[in-house]
Chain A
Amino acid sequence: MANTWGYGAMTNSLGDIQNAKAIIIFGANPAVNHPVGFGHFLKAKERNNAQIIVVDPRMTKTAAKADYFAQIRPGTDIPFMYGMLHIIFKNGWEDKNFINDRVYGLEDIRKEASKWTPEKVADVTGVSEELLMQITRVYAKSTPGTLIWAMGLTQHSIGSSNTRLAPILQLSLGNMGKEGGGTNILRGHDNVQGATDMCCLSHTLPGYYGLSVGSWKYFAKSWGVDYEWLAGRFKNKKMMGAKGFTLARWYAGVLAGKPGEDKIHNAGTNLKALFVMGTGITSIAQQAKVKEALDELELVVLVDPFVNEAAILTDKQDDVFILPAATQFESSGSVSATNRSAQWRYKVIEPMYESKPDHEILFELAKRMDFYEEYTKGMLMKENKKSYKFPEDATDEIARIIKTIGLTGWTHKRLKNHTDNWHMFDEVSLRGHGPMKGEYYGLPWPCWTETHGGSPILYNIDRSVKEGGMGFRNRFGLEHDGQNLLAGKGSAPKAGSNKDGYAEITAKNIESVLGIKLSASEKKKIGKNWKVDTSNIIAEKCMEAGIAPYGNAKARAKVWTFPDPIPIHREPIHSPRQDLAKKYPSYKDKANHYRVDTQYVSLQSKKNWSKEFPINLITGRLVSMNGAGLENRASKYLAALDPEMFCDIHPGLAATHGIRDGAMMWVHSPEGTKIKVKAKYSYSVKEDMVFLPFHYAGHFQGEDLSHKYPEGTKPYAVGESANTVTNYGYDIITQIPETKGGLCRIEKV
Chain B
Amino acid sequence: MPGITREEVSHLARLARLELKPEELEHFAGQLDDIIGAVARVGEVADQDVPPTSHPLPLTNVMRADEVRPSLTPAQALSGAPAQEQQRFKVPQILGEE
A complexed with B: no
